[in-house]
Amino acid sequence: MILKYYGLRESFLFFTVFPLLALTIAPFVRFPEESAEDIAAVSTSTVISNPGFIAAVLNIATYNVVFSFLMAFGGIYARDSFGISYSMVEILFSLFFVTSFLGRLYLSIRPAERLWPYMASAVTMTVAGILLIVLTNNPLIYAVALLILGIPHGTTYPLSVVSISRAFKPQYRNAANSLFFSFMMLIGIITPTITGYIAT
């Protein structure tokens, strides 16, 4: 709707309210306190060698590489391949985020007892969605692929967080989560940069 009346760059201004809201709320968020002994007991090697951490990182990596590429170039691909408007691109990606939300909602209602079946399903759906995009050149199939890809997008992150929470004692979780988020951010930086050169 916004893109019908404003340019692509100007449309981002409508969403500045969210980071401003987060900045306003942040000082009131209380985090668990840690003792000096807890902090001293945590080491990077202890965290990264933990099987639960390794599983969480591999799980998020299998999808975040695809997600970073999709978010950076999926809209450009749709515009160039199908000649659709910016508004239609946003509608297509709304399908992606609807199934992503439903995936997270499902895990909220029915938490995973065993993580590996869910992780394997996420990888399978990711491969299926990518194959649909690569092997076809049809906007309807592209929409179906986005619907499929939204599900692992919604489930991989919660599954990784659960893996970390189950694998670490409370005093280790801050360090584990910090390293995990650092890895996620690294993927988000490296993948679009590399794939940008490839796309060019």
Domain ranges in the chain are 42-199
What CATH number is given for 42-199 in this structure?
1.20.1250.20
Q: What is the number of alpha carbons within 13 Å of residue 136 lying toward its C-beta?
A: 14
Range with lowest mean pLDDT among 30-44, 88-102, 155-169, 186-200:
30-44
pLDDT digits (tens, 9 = 90+) for 120-157: 999 899 999 999 998 888 999 999 999 999 999 999 98
pLDDT value for 198:
75
97, 150 Cβ separation under 8 angstroms: yes
pLDDT digits (tens, 9 = 90+) for 60-75: 888 777 887 888 788 8
Listed residue (27, 43, 65) closest to 153, CA to CA: 65
* pLDDT band of 100, cuts 50, 70, 90: very high
Residue 1: pLDDT above 80?
no
Question: What pTM, to 2 d.p., does this model score?
Answer: 0.76
* Conformational region of residue 83, where left means phi above 0, alpha means psi within -120 to 50, and beta covers everything else: left
Determine the Cα–Cα distance for residues 79 and 93; give it in Å rounded to an integer: 13
Determine the Cα–Cα distance for residues 78 and 72; give it in Å rounded to an integer: 12
Question: In 146-158, which positions are buried (b, 16+ CB within 10 angstroms) versus exposed (e)?
Answer: bbbbbbbbbbbbb
Determine the Cα–Cα distance for residues 105 and 110; give it in Å rounded to an integer: 9
